[in-house]
Amino acid sequence: MKKGCEKYIPFEPVKMASRDWPDKMITKAPIWCSVDLRDGNQALVDPMNLAEKLEMFQLLCDIGIKEIEVGFPSASDTEYEILRALIDGGHIPPDVTVQVLVQAREHLIRKTFDAIEGAKNVIVHFYNSTSKLQRKVVFGKDMDGIIDIAVEGARLIRALGEEAAARTGANIRYEYSPESFMGTEPENAVAVCQRVIEAIGADAQHKIILNLPSTVESSTPNLFADQVEYFCKNLPSREAAIISLHPHNDRGTAVATAELGMLAGAERVEGTLFGNGERTGNVDIITLALNMFTQAVDPKLDFSNIGRVREVYERTTKMQVPVRHPYVGDLVFTAFSGSHQDAINKGEKYMKDSGTEYWEVPYLPIDPADVGREYEPVIRINSQSGKGGAAFVMNKNFGYDLPKAMHPEFGRIVKNYCDRVGREISADEVMELFRKEYIDIAGPYSLVSHKFFEEGEIDDAAPVVRFEGMIKNNGAEPVAITGKGNGPIDSFFNALAGVGIKGYSFVNYSEHAISIGSDAKAVSYIQLASPEGKNLFGVGISHNINYASIKGILCAINRSLAADKN
């Protein structure tokens, strides 16, 4: 045997003179078919029991899937019983079609028809493998032998189907899969399917579903799309068929394969929730549907409560949804990087300020609310987070609207802390840092009492404000201070200067109301320049807006003195 990668046979592309699919767009939802209860179930370490299958079936119906492959009833007694339980228990809604899989072999086909007795809407899905490799390695047959199996199966299914429909009034439709389509020569795939169309008697009014599986994903999605386009263009009775896809995910590109396959002419997709299924899984219906949703194409499936879908899926299959799974994983609405956080922050603000009708938030391809997720955990804080992240958390979680100029200062405090603890920190820890740094700062200076007086005539346009109060420097006795100015902040500055607290200049100020518990207070942010020319912030919170400001000034001065000491 050859060594390393040389032992593999590269995929042989279909020869196409031209192709139309690259210029197309997905403009409408395909017919969805879930194979969770069959392909998905057969791939589970512990297959679902009856109760779990019924719960999964119900979930699929709730999502809006109208065609559900419920099993392989001829292959196992459990699958047979599950189908009977669904039919006899009246669990199948009138607008839902159950699909049953069967190999194109006589005794299995007969058993399958026993299993579906009494169902109103059924798709009998039969298959045989057609690929070059399977013909050579598994069946030892040429293509004619493979076509014979398919045609014989089709004839028997047609006969049993017509008999059952006449007897019970059931609506029985047919699906044929040339299994391993992706490894079948294009002309052979067309030939077997055309012969099946003829044998089953399909026409434009009674279409057969021709399901083109990439049973083992073997090429880049563009080459698969070529295969689908070739098939659609060369099938003589194209009008008699609904073209379906059944992509597996061996190369990790099942979603792209399905999307390009739809561009190439497929009208139906078989897949599973979260891409469960044999080996690397089937195509993930949720990702496909939500990809459409974010392109303004209604997927006609309801994932508005994705949390419930995930919960039922994880419980019934005992599988876990990875944290980075598109649209659903725990971390997919989370931004760690500072620049991402900042952009999300700005996007959110833009949405609010502009009143745009569209979702225009960078780094979030979907509004988390559309899948029933919370917006709060979008920003998480670790040492990679930028200045905007901490401010975002303060705003979102606690209602503090830190002025822009303060973001770098507080961001640095948070980043240093994250570096020290070496992990992501919670929103409460961010608040704790804020509290320690700006709210609980007790000295060296603290006000013991304070009062403001306005001086001047009643309608004086610019009255003078006088501040009077007592200030304490650590354990020393409080001293009286007084000062006048053109406003509360100015008068307080002048009062401080009177007792030697000088050299600080006022740079900027902002304030807003904040609800703390059931209480409404004012919070003010004061930006000062220290005597050394360093800019820093102080925060003051009070019922009284003037007092909030002077607390903010003292906070900034105290922080500046504390920084000098360290």
The one segment of 4-12, 207-215, 259-267, 315-323 that binds ligand KIV by CB under 6 A: 207-215
Q: How far is the CB of 187 from ligand KIV (least distance, A)?
A: 20
Closer of 101 and 116 to ligand KIV (Cβ): 101
Distance of CA 166 to the CA centre of its chain: 46
Please give the DSSP secondary-structure letter assigned to residue 503: S
* Residue from 53, 248, 268, 559 in contact with ligand KIV (CB under 6 A): 248
Closer of 254 and 290 to Zn ion (Cβ): 254
* Residue from 135, 207, 246, 415 in contact with ligand KIV (CB under 6 A): 246
Helix (H, G, I), strand (E, B) or coil at 533: coil
The one segment of 36-44, 157-165, 223-231, 549-557 that binds Zn ion by CB under 5 A: 36-44
Closer of 28 and 136 to ligand KIV (Cβ): 136
Q: How far is the CB of 279 from ligand KIV (least distance, A)?
A: 10
Q: What is the C-alpha separation between 433 and 415, in angstroms, rounded?
A: 11
Q: What is the C-alpha separation between 100 and 122, in angstroms, rounded?
A: 8
**Pairing relationship of beta strands 464-473 and 479-485 according to DSSP bridges:** antiparallel
Tokens describing residue 109: 């086909």
Angle at 98 between CA 97 and CA 100, to 5 degrees: 140
- The strand pairing partners of 223, in sequence order, are none
Q: Could you identify the residue written with the tokens 């029985």?
A: 172
Closer of 127 and 327 to ligand KIV (Cβ): 127
How big is the site for ligand KIV, counted in residues (CB under 6 A)?
Answer: 10
Closer of 246 and 310 to ligand KIV (Cβ): 246
Please tell me whether residue 177 binds ligand KIV under the rule CB under 6 A.
Answer: yes
Peptide bond into 213 cis (omega under 30): no
Tokens describing residue 321: 């949804």
Closer of 216 and 514 to Zn ion (Cβ): 216
Q: How far is the CB of 110 from Zn ion (least distance, A)?
A: 23
The closest alpha carbon to 173, from 242, 211, 124, 110, belongs to 124
Please tell me whether residue 493 binds ligand KIV under the rule CB under 6 A.
Answer: no
Binder of residue 179, out of Zn ion, ligand KIV, none (CB less than 5 to 8 A by kind): ligand KIV
Closer of 26 and 75 to ligand KIV (Cβ): 75
The one segment of 32-40, 235-243, 302-310, 414-422 that binds Zn ion by CB under 5 A: 32-40
Q: Which of residues 179-198 bind ligand KIV (CB under 6 A)?
A: 179
* Residue from 97, 215, 276, 345 in contact with ligand KIV (CB under 6 A): 215
Binder of residue 284, out of Zn ion, ligand KIV, none (CB less than 5 to 8 A by kind): none
The one segment of 33-41, 49-57, 85-93, 396-404 that binds Zn ion by CB under 5 A: 33-41
Cβ-count burial 284-303 (b if 16+ within 10 Å, e if not): bbbbbbbbbbeeeeebbbeb
- The strand pairing partners of 508, in sequence order, are 527
Closer of 279 and 346 to ligand KIV (Cβ): 279
Give the C-alpha distances (Å, rounded to integers) separating 307 from 6, 49, 58, 312, 420: 45, 22, 16, 9, 35
Q: Under 8 Å CB-to-CB from 103, ≥6 apart: which residues?
A: 74, 126, 127, 128, 153
* Residue from 21, 126, 127, 537 in contact with ligand KIV (CB under 6 A): 127
Q: How far is the CB of 404 from ligand KIV (least distance, A)?
A: 55
Q: How far is the CB of 189 from ligand KIV (least distance, A)?
A: 13
Closer of 39 and 284 to ligand KIV (Cβ): 39
Closer of 72 and 80 to ligand KIV (Cβ): 72
First CA to last CA distance, the chain: 70
Measured at CB, which residue is nearest to Zn ion? 39
Binder of residue 177, out of ligand KIV, Zn ion, none (CB less than 5 to 8 A by kind): ligand KIV
Q: What is the C-alpha separation between 37 and 58, in angstroms, rounded?
A: 11
Q: How far is the CB of 278 from Zn ion (least distance, A)?
A: 6
Binder of residue 71, out of ligand KIV, Zn ion, none (CB less than 5 to 8 A by kind): none
**Pairing relationship of beta strands 171-179 and 241-247 according to DSSP bridges:** unpaired
What does the DSSP assignment read for 147-209? HHHHHHHHHHHHHHHHHHHHHH--EEEEEEEEETGGGS-HHHHHHHHHHHHHHHT--SSSPEE
Q: What is the C-alpha separation between 325 and 383, in angstroms, rounded?
A: 24
Q: What is the C-alpha separation between 181 and 159, in angstroms, rounded?
A: 26
Helix (H, G, I), strand (E, B) or coil at 92: coil
* Residue from 39, 217, 342, 437 in contact with Zn ion (CB under 5 A): 39
Q: Which of residues 38-97 bind ligand KIV (CB under 6 A)?
A: 39
Q: Under 8 Å CB-to-CB from 319, ≥6 apart: which residues?
A: 44, 274, 276, 313
Closer of 130 and 317 to ligand KIV (Cβ): 130
Tokens describing residue 498: 């009177």
Angle at 19 between CA 13 and CA 23, to 5 degrees: 125
Q: How far is the CB of 32 from ligand KIV (least distance, A)?
A: 15
Contact 397, 376 (CB under 8 A): yes
Closer of 216 and 529 to ligand KIV (Cβ): 216
Tokens describing residue 81: 């019983």
How big is the site for Zn ion, counted in residues (CB under 5 A)?
Answer: 1
Q: How far is the CB of 184 from ligand KIV (least distance, A)?
A: 11
Q: How far is the CB of 385 from ligand KIV (least distance, A)?
A: 44
Binder of residue 127, out of Zn ion, ligand KIV, none (CB less than 5 to 8 A by kind): ligand KIV
The one segment of 210-218, 348-356, 427-435, 437-445 that binds ligand KIV by CB under 6 A: 210-218
The one segment of 158-166, 208-216, 286-294, 506-514 that binds ligand KIV by CB under 6 A: 208-216
Q: Which of residues 395-434 bind Zn ion (CB under 5 A)?
A: none
Interface with Zn ion by CB under 5 A: which residues? 39
Binding residues for ligand KIV, rule: CB under 6 A, are: 39, 101, 127, 177, 179, 211, 213, 215, 246, 248
